[in-house]
């Protein structure tokens, strides 16, 4: 087992990793920008090293600074969390060349699955159901129109190197396709330094279902069941739950088998997520694989009892997976709300500033993963996620009731947050019945 790990991240995920390390008896090193000195991850770690100014590119994306900090602190491993460098194959390669263990899959797997068009072709070879679309990268607008006419409108334009909703557009006709193609390419190039795009059939009224994977270095690979991530805004997940309301035991077994099959196709190791779109007739299609820890991992932890972060660390340290597929069982229902520093009544604009009052909810079945506190100054330079509120109950009805109680108890003053938005979602009959698709939030906000 490692004796010291550096966490190449900030915010709630850095705190989460530090907690796992402490329970494993591992010393931790936090890195931080010069505006993050008061963050909880800096206070909780055994050591903390400033790696640059506020801008992410000068600090949390600054690979030389992070590697220098790791060498100064003499760590054996780096945990990237999610976001920033978590899916950066080059960073994983540099860690390897510096004889520092990267807590995640190999650079080769990150690179392969990070290229969405290559990942689709790889999963197609593995026998997974794939959404009809282009055979690789679209070369020009003529090819785009030809593909769209072949598979039928509407179609989704997607950035090959994309994620987080960047470089994605929906087109319903030739004219829109041609104009949105250039927009998507420009956005993809700005976000990822890669303007390559591909096209696939756009599934109307789908649900977003993903499977949590764990694989060790000895060929053992399992899934920990599914999560429903259908509540989204502009392709950004807002609420996640496990188990997924629309997934039956039979469908779970079928999708889970496919998820494992796909992950084994690339000899996947460590934690990852196989993501699918599910239509109203129970047909599912592989969408992408995320080669990292997910924001929503806590709901899976609560229903399975598996500490995913600890398992990541153990696998990276060379230990065998202690679980088998037969030992994994989902118990109860867990739901997570992403609490963002945003004004949900004003186009979800970011709302940085000083928190003048803070009280987190408590009681049975409540978990809060956060890094903020009373008088903390939420910075404008980073993602607006400030807290994850997670509940566990015996069933979905009770989980919704528990979440409503927890949201009522949650007090964050001084800045705008999405707490009221979540209250609106949980009071909506369609959400309560699980009768929603990925356009649920858009339709809900139209009613307001």
Exposure string over 255-268, b if 16+ CB within 10 A, otherwise e: bbebbbebbeebeb
pLDDT at 235 over 90: no
Sign of torsion over alpha carbons 426, 431, 433, 434: negative
Measured N-to-C along each axis, helices 308-316 and 297-304 cross at an angle, to the nearest 10 degrees, of: 100
d(CA 225, CA 204) in angstroms, rounded, equals: 25
pTM: 0.90
Fold of 207-447: D-amino Acid Aminotransferase; Chain A, domain 1 (3.30.470)
In the sheet where 155-159 sits, what is the strand order? Answer: 169-171, 155-159, 197-201
Residues in the chain: 448
Q: Please tell me which residue, 220 or 132, carries the higher pLDDT value.
A: 220
Question: Same topology for domains 132-201 and 207-447, yes or no?
Answer: no
Measured between its terminal Cα atoms, the distance across the chain in Å is 53
Work out the average pLDDT over 252-263.
Answer: 98
pLDDT at 369 over 70: yes
* Encoded tokens for 307: 């500490």
Work out the average pLDDT over 193-200.
Answer: 89
pLDDT digits (tens, 9 = 90+) for 123-162: 999 999 998 889 889 999 999 999 999 999 999 999 888 6
- Give every CB contact of residue 230 below 8 A, 6+ residues apart in sequence: 207, 208, 209, 436, 437, 438, 440
d(CA 202, CA 153) in angstroms, rounded, equals: 7
H or E element at residue 357: strand 357-359
Contact 224, 212 (CB under 8 A): yes
The CATH number of 132-201 is 3.30.1490.20
Quickly state the pLDDT bin for 299 (edges 50, 70, 90).
very high
CA 18 to centroid of chain Cα atoms? 19
Instruction: Count the Cβ atoms, other than its own, within 10 Å of residue 350.
Output: 16
H or E element at residue 238: strand 236-242
Q: Considering the chain, what is the average pLDDT of its residues?
A: 95
CA dihedral 40, 45, 49, 54 (to 10 degrees): -20
Contact 341, 417 (CB under 8 A): yes
pLDDT digits (tens, 9 = 90+) for 74-84: 999 999 999 99
pLDDT at 163 over 70: no
pLDDT digits (tens, 9 = 90+) for 91-123: 999 999 999 999 999 999 999 999 988 999 999
DSSP 299-330: HHHHHH---HHHHHHHHHTTPPP---GGG---
HEC sequence for 363-416: CCCEEEEECCCCCCEECCCCCCEEEEEEEEECCHHHHHHHHHHHHHHCEEECCC
Catalytic residue among 16, 252, 292, 338: 292
Contact 440, 231 (CB under 8 A): yes
Q: What is the CA radius of gyration of the chain?
A: 21
Contact 278, 284 (CB under 8 A): yes
- Domain extents in the chain: 4-103, 132-201, 207-447
- What is the Cβ-side half-sphere exposure of residue 78, based on CA atoms within 13 angstroms? 28
Q: How confident is the model at residue 189, as a pLDDT?
A: 85
- What is the Cβ-side half-sphere exposure of residue 443, based on CA atoms within 13 angstroms? 11
Q: How confident is the model at residue 107, as a pLDDT?
A: 98
Residue 292 is among the residues annotated as catalytic for this protein: yes
Q: Which CATH number fits domain 4-103: 3.40.50.20, 3.40.50.1370, 3.40.50.1000, 1.10.10.10?
A: 3.40.50.20
Contact 70, 98 (CB under 8 A): yes
pLDDT-above-70 percentage for the chain:
99
């Amino acid at each position: 087992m490692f004796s010291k790990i550096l966490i190449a991240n900030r915010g709630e995920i850095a705190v989460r990793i530090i907690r796992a390390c402490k329970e494993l008896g591992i010393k931790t090193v936090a890195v931080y920008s010069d505006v993050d000195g008061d963050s909880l991850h800096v206070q909780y770690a055994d050591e903390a090293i400033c790696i640059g100014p506020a801008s992410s590119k000068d600090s949390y994306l600054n690979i030389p600074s992070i590697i220098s900090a790791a060498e100064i602190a003499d760590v054996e491993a780096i945990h990237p969390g999610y976001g920033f460098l978590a899916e950066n194959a080059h960073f994983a390669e540099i860690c390897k060349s510096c004889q520092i263990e990267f807590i995640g899959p190999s650079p080769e797997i990150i690179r392969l699955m990070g290229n969405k068009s290559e990942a689709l072709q790889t999963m197609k070879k593995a026998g997974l159901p794939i959404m009809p679309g282009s055979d690789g990268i679209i070369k020009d607008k003529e090819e785009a129109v030809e593909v769209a006419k072949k598979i039928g409108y509407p179609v989704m334009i997607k950035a090959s190197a994309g994620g987080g909703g960047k470089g994605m557009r929906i087109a319903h006709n030739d004219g829109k396709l041609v104009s949105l193609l250039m927009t998507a390419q420009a956005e993809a190039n700005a976000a990822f330094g890669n303007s390559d795009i591909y096209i696939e059939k756009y599934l109307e009224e789908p649900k977003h279902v993903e499977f949590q994977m764990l694989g060790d270095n000895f060929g053992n690979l399992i899934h920990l069941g599914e999560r429903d991530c259908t509540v989204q805004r502009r392709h950004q997940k807002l609420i996640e739950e496990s188990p997924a309301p629309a997934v039956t035991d039979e469908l779970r077994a079928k999708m889970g088998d496919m998820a494992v099959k796909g992950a084994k196709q690339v000899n996947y190791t460590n934690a990852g997520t196989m993501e699918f779109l599910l239509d109203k007739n129970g047909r599912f299609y592989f969408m992408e694989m995320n080669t990292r820890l997910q924001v929503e991992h806590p709901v899976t932890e609560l229903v399975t009892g598996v500490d995913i972060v600890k398992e990541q660390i153990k696998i990276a340290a060379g230990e065998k997976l202690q679980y088998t597929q037969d030992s994994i069982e989902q118990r109860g229902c867990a739901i997570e709300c992403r609490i963002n520093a945003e004004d949900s009544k004003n186009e979800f604009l970011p709302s940085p500033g000083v928190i003048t009052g803070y009280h987190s909810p408590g009681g049975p079945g409540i978990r809060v993963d956060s890094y903020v506190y009373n008088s903390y100054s939420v910075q404008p330079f980073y993602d607006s996620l400030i807290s994850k509120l997670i509940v566990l109950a015996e069933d979905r009805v009770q989980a919704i009731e528990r979440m409503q109680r927890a949201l009522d108890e949650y007090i964050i003053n001084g800045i705008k947050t999405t707490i009221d938005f979540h209250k609106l979602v949980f009071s909506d009959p369609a959400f309560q019945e699980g009768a929603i698709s990925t356009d649920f939030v858009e339709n809900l906000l139209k009613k307001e």
